[in-house]
Amino acid sequence: MPRKLAAGNWKMNGLRANLTEIHTLAERHAEASVDILICPPTTLIHACNGVLFDIGGQDCHTETGGAHTGDISAQMLADAGANYVITGHSERRADHGETDVIVAAKSTAAHEAGLTAVICIGETLDERESGATLEVIDTQLAGSIPDQTTAQNTVIAYEPVWAIGTGKVPTLDQIGEVHSHIRARLSERFADSADIRLLYGGSVKGSNAADIFAVANVDGALVGGASLKADDFSPIITALENS
Ligand code: PGA
């Protein structure tokens, strides 16, 4: 059984004053029996040095450096104190046109910088409603997950696009179907597939976390909105510890 992971994605939220939320969480979960990861905006990564939790970026460039104004390399994230980075989040795929090829290259850059990549995949509502979910997942897995993936350098987050920030959550059967499908596909490519952590993401809250964590092949969650406040994220961490 892989060690469980509660990951918070702050997206484009958070000023220095909000670091108190992380400190509060660290006090409450100093003895956590699960891994805890916070992905704050890049501006706050260095200020998180010394915090008990793992810290991650939310995106990285495919290159280690060069003429790419405004971009951040995986090496820079590592240098600032991060040990994880999210790649292929659906907001990056939608807002910045990131394709599976780009996501795979970013994930490779993360691995080369010594970061664990949290690679996100998931179908849109149209794809779900037209019955194409597993096909979309297969395409994204084949295209976004690099060959050098291991259980140490990669976490996969299944995030249905229609569930992100909407309060809508798939049924537990739907989550279970996709997670077991992902596990089976990974076993065709990676020797340590059973240990690759599979997170569910999309409107996870304290009130639904325990049910979601009881689903087979769910090894944790990638949480957006409910990770911003210690009072909201804390019950999710506790639910994961009790699962
Ligand atoms: P949400 O976002 O928890 O606010 O739905 C999840 C994510 O985008 O990772």
What are the tens digits of pLDDT across the range 29-71?
Answer: 999 999 999 999 999 999 999 998 999 999 999 999 999 999 9
Contact 60, 104 (CB under 8 A): no
How high is the mean pLDDT of the chain? 97
Q: Is the pLDDT of residue 172 over 90?
A: yes
Q: Which residues of 224-239 are buried (b: 16+ CB within 10 A; e: fewer)?
A: bbbbbebebbbebbbb
Average pLDDT over residues 194-206: 98
pLDDT band at 179 (very low <50, low <70, confident <90, very high): very high
Contact 115, 85 (CB under 8 A): yes
Closest CA to 172 of 137, 212, 142, 206: 212
Closest CA to 120 of 11, 242, 228, 230: 11
* Strands 5-9 vs 220-223: parallel, antiparallel or unpaired: parallel
Q: Is the pLDDT of residue 209 over 90?
A: yes
Nearest ligand 1 atom, CA 163: 5
From first CA to last CA, the distance across the chain in angstroms is 12
Alpha-carbon torsion, ordered 36, 148, 63, 154, to 10 deg: -10
Q: Is the pLDDT of residue 175 over 90?
A: yes
Average pLDDT over residues 178-201: 98
- Respond yes or no: is residue 159 known to be catalytic: yes
Q: pLDDT value at position 40?
A: 98
118: phi then psi, degrees, rounded to nearest 5: -100, 95
Calpha distance 157→199 (Å, rounded): 4
Alpha-carbon torsion, ordered 229, 233, 234, 236, to 10 deg: 160
Q: Among 39, 156, 168, 203, say which to mutate for ligand 1: greatest number of ligand atoms within 8 Å of CB.
A: 203
Which residue has the CA at smallest separation from atom 7 of ligand 1? 224
Report pTM: 0.98
Average pLDDT over residues 153-176: 96
Q: Is the pLDDT of residue 12 over 90?
A: yes
Cα(77) to ligand 1 centroid in Å equals 22
Q: Is the pLDDT of residue 1 over 90?
A: no
pLDDT band at 228 (very low <50, low <70, confident <90, very high): very high
Nearest ligand 1 atom, CA 205: 3
